[in-house]
Amino acid sequence: MLAAIIAGTSTGVYAQQKVLNLYTARHYQTDEALYTGFTKQTGIAINRIEGGEDALFERIKNEGANSPADVFITVDIGRIWRADQAGIFAPVKSAVLEARIPASYRDPAGNWFGFSARARVIAYNKAAVKAGELANYEDLADPKWKNAVCIRTSTHPYNLSLMASLIAHNGEARTEEWVKGLTANLARSPKGGDTDQLMGAAAGECKIAVANTYYIARLMRSARPNEKAAAEKLGLVFPNQASRGTHMNISGGGMLKNAPHKDAAVKFLEYLAGDEAQRYFAEGNNEWPTVRGVKISNPALAAMGEFKADAINVAQLGNNQPAAQRIADRVGFK
């Protein structure tokens, strides 16, 4: 279902105001500060259409040259890559974006940019797993962890991106063996989201969970006693610190090729790369800024500590997602 939300404007004066038409698949309430901050800074009102990634993507394609959309924002590099492959983005040449967004988090042609990052990590029940027993993603396929792992379905983009990163570093053959081992080690059939995997590990339904870091941070910062208690039972591993670094994914997007307000679109993308917006991503939704050196005050992220991130350009992960899905299908990873 799509939801239309007009921020900072009304239908009576809509035509007279400077405006940006934003199609966004980010559904975090804390993002409201992003939109009000942009309008306050620029005087440009945001006409926001929210919905699921697939619904918005199809809407943009169906609207074609008549689409009012200026910017499309979504989560996961696979979804961004698919939109790019469909040719809906227009290249943006911006010294601000090129200087602030690291090369690994943006399209070399300038079609899209990553504005926030999330790491996919390993959490473990501290009563069942000793610190140091797990160090790498590859360890999840070790037979010693039979019936120990909780993870969401293979079809979810977060897992497809993880498998895509393994393909990029280890090749398809080795990745298929890894998926076989991981599947053999599942404690239960994949179900639910990342929070369900973490709660399952904390409750002893499994020993190990795979999840994005912002889900862990949410539990750490939760006002619900059971969720805070669950977080305290879990240890955290940033995998592959001695080699390539931990797999990273992004939330981001770009300007659409039929954008009617191109100047406003570029200003909005540049705003998302600014310090104010970067802090909103970190403090509001527990994501890491993609811009280096931004000072944030999020106690959960601080508690996780520093780590080495994989420096591969995330575009390669989108490119490898179809192969990742074929591997999962062949192996029977549901």
Cβ-based neighbours of 263, under 8 Å, separated by 6 or more: none
Structural domains of the chain, ranges and CATH numbers in brackets: 3-117+248-304 (3.40.190.10), 119-246+313-331 (3.40.190.10)
8 A C-beta contact, residue 201 and residue 209: yes
Q: What is the pLDDT along the chain (334 residues), one digit of tens a residue?
A: 445 554 443 333 333 459 999 999 987 777 888 899 999 999 999 999 999 888 998 999 999 999 999 999 999 999 999 999 999 999 999 999 999 999 999 999 999 999 999 999 999 999 999 999 999 999 999 999 999 999 999 999 999 999 999 999 999 999 999 999 999 999 999 999 999 999 999 999 999 999 999 999 999 999 999 999 999 999 999 999 999 999 999 999 999 999 999 999 999 999 999 999 999 999 989 999 999 999 999 999 999 999 999 999 999 999 999 999 999 999 999 9
* Global model pTM greater than 0.85: yes
Strands 3-7 and 19-24, by their bridges, are: unpaired
CA distance 318 to 157: 9
CA distance 333 to 31: 34
Query: Please, which residues bridge with residue 159 across strands?
Result: none
CA distance 87 to 75: 18
DSSP SS3 for 330: helix
